[in-house]
Amino acid sequence: MSNTKALPMLEPEAVAPCCPPLTERPLTAEEAERTAKMFKALGDPVRLRLFSLVASHEGGEACVCDISDVGVSQPTVSHHLKKLREAGLLTSERRGTWVYYKVAPSVLAAMGQLLTAAD
Amino acid sequence: MSNTKALPMLEPEAVAPCCPPLTERPLTAEEAERTAKMFKALGDPVRLRLFSLVASHEGGEACVCDISDVGVSQPTVSHHLKKLREAGLLTSERRGTWVYYKVAPSVLAAMGQLLTAAD
């Protein structure tokens, strides 16, 4: 088999939006397993900053080329963006030289809903 | 010095609710440092289940004595509840034999707001 240059940007094993507000009922083990991955991905200060950089960037997407001021090297930025993608928080698309990341909107909404206090 | 039996339930070093929605502007390093702690605390499946157990428990609070079905020992439950308290997600109060935990409501709201998608 020959190596192809255009690597497909595979979506991670589906991290589907999940679960009612945490105040509504206890999560099942399976729900917690799935959801904890997303929280864990945001549980690192550099990743959290990168996520907010992408989320607040013009047009709702950013590439490594847009990110220069988080105090870590570009390979490290790429590594963390990949982790965020694997957690289902970002989606990615290659355009020319760069991979562009954007927030997976339904996931953000689902996480926000999880943290909604029940009335 | 004598040991006292009634240990004060000290609040953790204030983990204040923080920051605008992640979609609004990039977090500063300091904001990310502070906020990542909360996400990290929820980034473990057992802790996330415990948090939802407390959050959804009758009266909005629970003690270790209310928790029996998460598949870990009582000392482990206590350990994780303490971690959640240290992250500022739960508050605790000793009443008689047991320590009761409840969700720190402002923190939950603040985290929910962080994850709100900007319109």
| For chain A, domain boundaries | 4-114
Q: What pLDDT does residue A12 have?
A: 45
- Cβ distance of B103 and A48 shorter than 8 Å: no
Determine the residue type at A108: L
The distance of A88 to chain B (nearest Cα, Å) reads 14
Tell me the mean pLDDT in the region B80-94.
93
Higher pLDDT, A40 or A9: A40
Between B78 and B3, the higher pLDDT residue? B78
A–B CB contacts, 8 A cutoff, strictly below: 123
Q: Which residues of B touch A53 (CB under 8 A)?
A: 26
Q: Which two tokens stand for residue B31?
A: 């904001």
The CATH topology of domain B4-114 is Arc Repressor Mutant, subunit A (1.10.10)
> What is the dihedral angle through the alpha carbons of B7, B9, B10, B12, rounded to the nearest 10 degrees?
130
- Between chains, do A115 and B112 touch, taking CB under 8 Å as contact? yes
Give pLDDT, residue B16: 55
pLDDT number for residue B104: 86
Tens-digit pLDDT profile for residues A72-88: 998 999 999 999 999 98
State whether residue B49 sits within 8 Å of chain A by CB: yes
Comparing A21 with B42, the larger pLDDT belongs to B42
Report pLDDT for A94.
Answer: 94
Cα–Cα dist B113/A52, whole Å:
13
Q: Which of the pair, A69 or B50, is modelled with greater confidence?
A: B50
Using pLDDT thresholds of 50, 70 and 90, give the confidence band for residue A117: low
Q: For residue A111, what pLDDT is reported? A: 81
A36 bridge partner residues: none
DSSP H helices in chain B: 29-41, 45-56, 74-86, 105-114
For residue A64, what are its two tokens?
Answer: 């490594």
- The confidence score (pLDDT) of residue B19 equals 81
**Residue ranges of B 72-91 with Cβ closer than 8 A to chain A:** none
CA distance, residue B61 to nearest chain A CA (Å): 11
Calculate mean pLDDT across residues A61-72: 88
A59 touches chain B (CB under 8 A): no
Q: Please state the rounded mean pLDDT for residues A7-20.
A: 55
**pLDDT > 90: percent of chain B:** 49
Please report the pLDDT score of residue B119 as a whole number.
44
Contact status of B35 with chain A (Cβ, < 8 Å):
yes
pLDDT at residue B67 tops 50: yes
Q: Can you tell me which residue has the tokens 């003690």?
A: B63
Mutation for B interface: A42, A70, A106, most B CBs within 10 A? A42
> What's the CA gap between A8 and A23, in Å, rounded?
39
